[in-house]
Structure 1
Amino acid sequence: MLQPFKQPYIVNSIKTIDNLVKRYGNSHLKEIDLTHSQTNVIIFLHQERHRQVQQRDIERALNLTNPTVSVLLSRLEEKGFIRRTTHQKDNRSRIIELTEKVDPIVQEIYEHVNSIEEMLFEGLEEAEVRVLSDTLRKIALNAEKL
C-alpha cells in the first residue's frame, strides 16, 4: 500500500533559510567585493591557515563540487584574496592560501556571519540554539551518507 504524500517541511525550511542567508549575504558583502560563497572559502582557509590546504580539502569541507570550487578560487585569485602555489612534494598539486589583502576584512567577514546568526536565532534561548546546533550537525552527518 502506498504511503500518503508527506510534505518535507523541514528540508524545505532549511533550503529556504539557506537561500535567504545567501541573498542577504551577497547584498551586504558587495561593498567588500565578495559573495557569500566566497566568504565561506575565506573563512575555511582562515580557520585552516596553520596547515597546507589543497582544493580537494575545500571541496570536502564545504561539500562543493570540483568545478564550483575551481570557479570560486579563480574569482578569489583574480580579486587578490588568495594565491595558489605548487606543492613542494607534488608538482601537480596546488596549495591555496590567503593573501595579506584578507587581513583587513577578515574581522568584518566574521562579524557579518555573527550578525546573520544573531538575526536567525532571535527569540531563541541559548539552550535551544545548542540543541538546534547539535541536531543540525547530526542531520548533516546523515545527509553525507546519501
Structure 2
Amino acid sequence: MAKLFLTTIPSQEELHQTACQIFPEAEPLSLYSNLLFRKVATDIEINYDNFFAQFDLSPGRFTLIMLLKKNPAGLMPSELAQKVGVTQATISGLINSLEKSEIVARETHEKDGRAFVIKLTPKGNALIQKLAPEWYPRIMGFWAQLTQEEKTTLNTILEKMSKNMHLLK
C-alpha cells in the first residue's frame, strides 16, 4: 500500500488557524510535533522499503530473518508472531514467502515432533552477509548527524512516547 503523507508540513501558525476552526483548544506545537514526527517516520519507512526491495525483501521480512539469525536453533511461528506483534495468520504469510525464496526452512521441533521451528537457511545467511555492508553504514550515517547526547535525549523521549501509546487509542 502506498504511504501517503504531506510533502510540506504546514507552519505552526497555519496548523493553529486550521485546527482552531475545528477544535478551539488545539495546541499548535503538539500538532506540529505530531506531523513532523509522522513525516520523519514515513520518510524513513519509504527509504527502508526502497532499500530492502533491492534484495526482494520488505522491512518485515528483514526483521524476521534478523530474529532468526539471532536464534540459530530456530523459532516456532507463534514465537515469531509474538516477538513482532502480529497475528499467526500474518506470520504464516511472511514465513511462506521466505520459505518459497529458500531464505528460511521449516524443521521438526526437537522436543515436540508435531510442531516445527523456522530456521534461517544458508541462503538466508548469505543474504544477510550481502546486505549488511550496505545497510549498516546507511543507518550509522543517518544517525551520525546527531551527537551522542542528542541521541540519548531522543531515545528517552521515544521510550516515553512508546510507553504512552495507549493515549492514542
Q: Tell me if both proteins adopt one fold, taking TM over 0.5 as the criterion.
A: yes
Shift of 1:15: 4.3
Q: TM-score, normalised by structure 1?
A: 0.75
Counterpart code for 1:140: S
Please name the residue that 2:43 is paired with: 20
Shift of 1:47: 1.7
Deviation by residue 1:33-78 (Cα, 9 ceiling, x = unmatched): 22222111111111222x4411222222222222221111111000
Q: What are the within-5 Å matches in structure 2 for residues 30-109 of structure 1? A: 30-49=53-72, 51-109=73-131
**Number of residue pairs aligned between Structure 1 and Structure 2:** 144
**Contact 2:103-2:124 at 8 Å conserved across structures:** yes
Q: TM-score, normalised by structure 2?
A: 0.67
- In 2 relative to 1, CA 79–119 (structure 1 residues): closer, same or farther, beyond 3 Å? same
Paired residue for 2:140, among 118, 121, 127? 118
Higher relative contact order (Cα pairs below 8 Å, separated by 6+ residues):
1
- In 2 relative to 1, CA 87–68 (structure 1 residues): closer, same or farther, beyond 3 Å? same
Q: Residue 56 of structure 1: SS of its match in structure 2?
A: helix
Shift of 1:84: 1.0
Whose Rg is larger? 2
**Contact 2:74-2:120 at 8 Å conserved across structures:** no
Instruction: State the identity %.
Output: 19
Distance 2:165 2:104 in 1: 30
Q: Residue 32 of structure 1: SS of its match in structure 2?
A: coil
Distance 1:93 1:3 in 2: 57
Q: How big is the alpha-carbon RMSD for the aligned residues of Structure 1 and Structure 2?
A: 2.9
